Amino acid sequence: GAGVSQTPSNKVTEKGKYVELRCDPISGHTALYWYRQSLGQGPEFLIYFQGTGAADDSGLPNDRFFAVRPEGSVSTLKIQRTERGDSAVYLCASSLGGGNEQFFGPGTRLTVL
Amino acid sequence: GENVEQHPSTLSVQEGDSAVIKCTYSDSASNYFPWYKQELGKRPQLIIDIRSNVGEKKDQRIAVTLNKTAKHFSLHITETQPEDSAVYFCAAYSNYQLIWGAGTKLIIKP
């Protein structure tokens, strides 16, 4: 079956612009996670959805970052007024529920010029 | 909250030798400990995991041990091969989050 997919694979934007990153989880996976990974570092937790609701958004760095999952499947990570420091690979993962294997998407490489 | 420390940051071993990567965690309530392998430019992929009710788990050349009392767990790779070269991350599941170690770059020397 299909794995986790993310679009776009690459996104280059200018400082101050708004971007949306999309994640399509594995069908039937109720849990969805967003991470951010900078070069040479491990994934940094951003937000966790269980179904449609954000069960834990404590990892979002500030109020420029927001994520939704309106129907409990596809999720969109939204970043307003992008800054150069937002440049990273944004990874999405899904699982059958908390505490189970997380399957990762290929990531979106965001570059803010 | 949970804190995961991973050592070493870089590990270089001769092909055919064994490699051991160690992690410690702080939250005694953590109950799930996966290990992920990430090759350059690719997504992390699970290679083995262990739950807190088990002390050891093995899958061919890969094994993981867990010491709940000491709050540490280790990844063991035997008979290393060139394709084992990658960055390895340990993680601990706590409060609905996977807290990740900083990663170990494993280099297999021919």
Instruction: Judge contact between B93 and B1, C-beta under 8 A.
Output: no
pLDDT at A97 (0 to 100): 80
Of B95, B96, B100, the CB nearest to A43: B100
Q: How confident is the model at residue A48 (pLDDT cuts 50, 70, 90)?
A: very high
More confident residue, A15 or B29: A15
pLDDT for B59 beyond 70:
yes
pLDDT for A1 beyond 60:
no
Q: Which residues 22-41 of chain A have a CB within 8 Å of chain B?
A: 33, 40-41
pLDDT at A39 (0 to 100): 86
Contact A56 B95 (CB under 8 A): yes
Mean pLDDT across B37-62: 93
Provide, rounded to the nearest whole percent, the portion of chain B with pLDDT above 90: 84
Residue (of B31, B29, B69, B33) closest to B50 by Cα position: B33
Provide, rounded to the nearest whole percent, the portion of chain A with pLDDT above 90: 81
B27 shares contact with chain A (CB less than 8 Å): no
Of B49, B98, B103, the CB nearest to A45: B98
Interacting residues of B2 by C-beta distance below 8 A, sequence separation 6+: B25, B26, B27, B30, B92, B94, B95, B97, B99
Handedness of CA A57, A58, A60, A63 (dihedral sign): positive
Mean pLDDT across B65-88: 96
pLDDT for B67 beyond 90:
yes
pLDDT for A98 beyond 80:
no
pLDDT at A99 (0 to 100): 74
pLDDT for A91 beyond 80:
yes
Q: Tell me what the pLDDT averaged over chain A comes to.
A: 94
